[in-house]
């Protein structure tokens, strides 16, 4: 008899969509906050794949010395097929800017994402949720997992 594992709905996974969105939006509002963000956040810190891809673009642009704003990131995102249409990309990136309550709090938004990725509870990635097939083994998630044991 095959062992059954509890299915976990994605909406229950431990992440903060708002914190991820606000980090990206803060960078568009004031690119100088990127140095603060880079101290705490890596692309794999983002749970949302689209956010992860956008942050990778921003990091590449930063390391290449390119200017970072909605237009330049949208251009790179369209080249990387992150959005289906330019209109969709413009609307989403514009919405990210509109969501930012205060750029001054970007470190707090990073802390939210960071704490979800590395919580005190030992759940450092979505794979640590109850019912994982590797229960009882050490996590080897490359996203910076703390090495907690699956339970």
How does pLDDT run across 71-81, given as a tens digit for each residue?
999 999 999 99
Q: How many residues does the chain have?
A: 151
Beta bridge partners of 149: 138
Residues 6+ apart with CB under 8 A from 14: 116, 119, 123, 126
For residue 70, the model assigns a pLDDT of: 96
CA distances from 7 to 67, 107, 133 (A): 43, 34, 11
- pLDDT computed for residue 12 by the predictor: 55
pLDDT value of residue 141: 56
Output the pLDDT for position 24.
98
Q: Which residues of the chain have pLDDT under 70?
A: 1-13, 118-151
Task: Please tell me the predicted confidence (pLDDT) of residue 127.
Answer: 52
């Amino acid at each position: 008899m095959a062992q059954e594992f509890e299915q976990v709905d994605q909406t229950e996974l431990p992440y903060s969509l708002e914190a991820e969105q606000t980090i990206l939006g803060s960078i568009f509002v004031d690119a100088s906050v990127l140095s603060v963000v880079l101290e705490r956040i890596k692309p794999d810190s983002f749970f949302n794949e689209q956010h992860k891809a956008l942050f990778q673009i921003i990091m590449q642009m930063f390391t290449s010395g390119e200017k970072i704003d909605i237009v330049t990131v949208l251009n790179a995102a369209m080249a990387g097929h992150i959005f289906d249409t330019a209109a969709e990309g413009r609307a989403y990136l514009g919405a990210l800017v509109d969501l930012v309550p205060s750029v001054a709090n970007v470190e707090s938004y990073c802390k939210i994402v960071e704490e979800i990725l590395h919580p005190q509870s030992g759940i450092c990635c979505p794979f640590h949720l109850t019912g994982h097939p590797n229960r009882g083994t050490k996590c080897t998630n490359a996203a910076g997992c703390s090495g907690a044991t699956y339970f």
